Amino acid sequence: MKIVFATNNPNKLEEAQELLPFFNVVGLKDIGCNEDIDETENTLEGNAILKAKFVKEKFSVNCFSDDTGLEVEALEGAPGVYSARYAGETANADKNMNKLLDALKNKTNRKAQFRTVIALIFGEELFTFEGVCKGKILENRVGEKGFGYDPVFVPDGFSETFAEMSMEEKGIISHRGKAIKKLVSFLLTIRY
């Protein structure tokens, strides 16, 4: 079964393809959508739904989208929905991590969680799935794998950052992995 993941991020697409091996998961470029879908909502749920609706309305395909935020307790949940552009609209992962580490200087509470919300539009129905991974923010970056804030995030129960884990290891415990597992369970009920 073919399903569109409303993303232009090759890292996210590859991660989803690994976690959804029974489906032909394609990205926006694969369906000829080369535009960035503005995330104008102020919640992760709102942005995920907005992107899925955009793709469904424009291309009439079954699709899912996600929005993910890093929520840091000492920063009252920031950067949250603004995680990708925490250091500004043209920010990249390095700038975002620099701003985060600077904001946490001299703070002893390093608790944080990644939260992913997936919005699926299948047929004409909308479904949402959430995954959370709790952990802490390190004082320095460690590891070369992953993307985004992975080099500074250590999930609870582990000593390695996401950036030190293989995609398979990360997929088992990550926020996106948990949300996609819920999505997969649901899709398998439709598929059979």
Cα–Cα distances (Å) from 97 to 12, 66, 175, in that order, read: 19, 21, 19
Residue 1: per-residue pLDDT: 81
Domain of residue 137, residue span: 2-191
Residue-wise pLDDT tens digits, 12-71: 888 788 878 888 999 999 999 988 888 889 999 999 999 999 999 999 999 999 999 999
Gap between the Cα atoms of 48 and 56, Å rounded: 12
More confident residue, 114 or 146: 114
Structure tokens belonging to residue 57: 């309305």
Residue-wise pLDDT tens digits, 157-169: 999 999 999 988 8
Residue 12: per-residue pLDDT: 81
Q: What are phi and psi of 9, to 5 degrees?
A: -85, 110
Residue-wise pLDDT tens digits, 74-127: 999 999 999 989 998 888 999 999 999 999 999 999 999 999 999 999 999 999
Residue 192: per-residue pLDDT: 46
Structure tokens belonging to residue 96: 């975002």
Residue 182: per-residue pLDDT: 94
Gap between the Cα atoms of 113 and 104, Å rounded: 15
For the chain, how many structural domains are there in total? 1
Assign 9 a pLDDT band (cuts: 50, 70, 90): confident
- CATH classification of the domain holding 69: 3.90.950.10
Nearest to 37, CA basis, from 84, 78, 1: 84
Positive or negative, the CA dihedral 43, 47, 48, 50 is positive
Reported as type and span, the H/E element at residue 5 is strand 2-5
> Does the annotation mark 67 as catalytic?
yes
| DSSP β-bridge partners for residue 98 | none
Residue 31: per-residue pLDDT: 94
Whether residue 79 has a cis bond before it, omega within 30° of 0: yes
Among 30, 38, 66, 67, the active-site one is: 67
Nearest to 53, CA basis, from 4, 7, 119, 117: 119
Nearest to 121, CA basis, from 111, 110, 129: 129
With a cut of 80, say whether residue 128 has pLDDT above it.
yes
Nearest to 5, CA basis, from 121, 145, 129, 130: 121
